[in-house]
Amino acid sequence: MRQSTLFKMHFVGTALLAVGLTSLVTAIPSANSVGSDLQILLHNDLYGNESIHGDAVIVLKTTQTHEQAKKACAALSESLWKPSSDAEDADFLAYLTYKNGSQHREQVQQQLYHVSGKGPRGSCKGIDPSSGRVQSIDCKTKLPALCSQSALLSYVNNTDTSASKQTTVTSGKAIYTGWRDKLSFRFLGIKYGSFPQRFTDSSPTSLTGNVSALEFGSICASRDGRFGPVRGSEDCLFLNIYTPYLPTTKRSKSALRPVMLWIHGGAFVGGSGSDPVFDGGNLASRGDVVVVTINYRYGNRNVFLRRLLNMIVGWVSSDSS
C-alpha cells in the first residue's frame, strides 16, 4: 500500500514537472522576457521572395556573453546567426554602425556582435557590421548579438502565425500576442473603438487581459458592387500595427520609432486597413518606422458635407446681418 502511494506521488510529480517544462518551452517570448530590445533587420530591396538578398537577423541590443546570447536566441525559437563567407552579403548590417540607425547622424564607435561559430582555443565569433568581417573573440565578452530570422515573407493566404513566430507586448492593462514575418512584428485586428448602436458616435475601447492580435478584424459593412451582397460587419473598428522594433519597458526615448498612421481610401463606401495591397510591413522595414492602419465606418462623407453646409449657411447669415 505504501509503495502504491509512493508510486502515485512519483507519477503525479513527474506529470507536473513535464507540464512545467512544456509551458517553459512553449512560453511566448517578449522583449522583456528575452531581456533585450528586439529589431528585425534585413536588406529589403522590395523584390520580396524574388530578392537575391535572403539574409535577415533579429538584433539583440543588450550586451551579454556568447552563451547568454545563444539562450536569448533560443527563447525566440532561433539560433545565433551564421554569416555568409562573403562580406558583401552582410552589407545591410551597416545600419548598426550609425546612432539609432540614421546615416544622417554621427557614426558611432565600432561595435562587434555575437554570431554563430567557434574560433581557435575555444574562442567564439563576433562580426564587425561596418565591414561584415568575422573575427575570433573571448566567449565571455559581453556584446550585443545577432539571431537568425527564419520567419518567411507573408502574403495573402500564406502566413505563419505558429507559436515559434509569436511574441507578446504589454500595453496598458492588456497583453497583446502578435507574430513576426520576415519584415516586421505584426499585431493585427486590435479593437480600438465601439458604439452603442447604429449611427451613433464611437468611443475608445480600453482592452484588458490577454488579447490575440494574430488576425485581421472584420472590414466595415459595405456592398460588393452597387447591387452585390453586403460584406463585413458593423463591428469593425480595428487597427493593425507593423513595427521592426520592440523595446523593453526600460527603453530609452531616443530609441523609439516614429509612428505613421495610414487611412485607407475608398470614397467612404469601401476599403479597409487590412487591404493586402497596402500591407504595412515594407514601409515599416524600409523606413524604420511603426506603421498603423485602421478601419473606419463608411458614410462619414455625408456627415462632413452636412457640417460644411451648416458652416456655409452660418457665414451667409452673418454676412446678411
Query: Could you report the per-residue pLDDT of 71-82, keeping only the tens digit for each?
Result: 999 999 999 999
What integer is the mean pLDDT of 244-262? Answer: 84
The three-state secondary structure class of 52 is coil
What integer is the mean pLDDT of 13-38? Answer: 65
For 135-168, write each residue's pLDDT tens digit. 999 999 999 999 999 999 998 888 999 999 999 9
In this prediction the pTM is 0.81
Q: What gap in Å lies between CA 113 and CA 135, rounded to an integer?
A: 10
Q: What gap in Å lies between CA 187 and CA 292, rounded to an integer?
A: 10
Residue type at 53 in one-letter notation: H
Q: Which helix (H) or strand (E) holds 66?
A: helix 66-75
Whether 6 has a pLDDT exceeding 50, the answer reads no
Q: What gap in Å lies between CA 110 and CA 93, rounded to an integer?
A: 12
Return the pLDDT at 272: 87
Q: Which helix (H) or strand (E) holds 57?
A: strand 56-64
Domains of the chain plus CATH, in order, are 29-148 (3.10.100.10), 163-302 (no CATH)
Q: Which of 52, 27, 28, 57 is nearest to 40 (CA)?
A: 57
In the chain, pLDDT over 70 holds for what percent of residues? 77
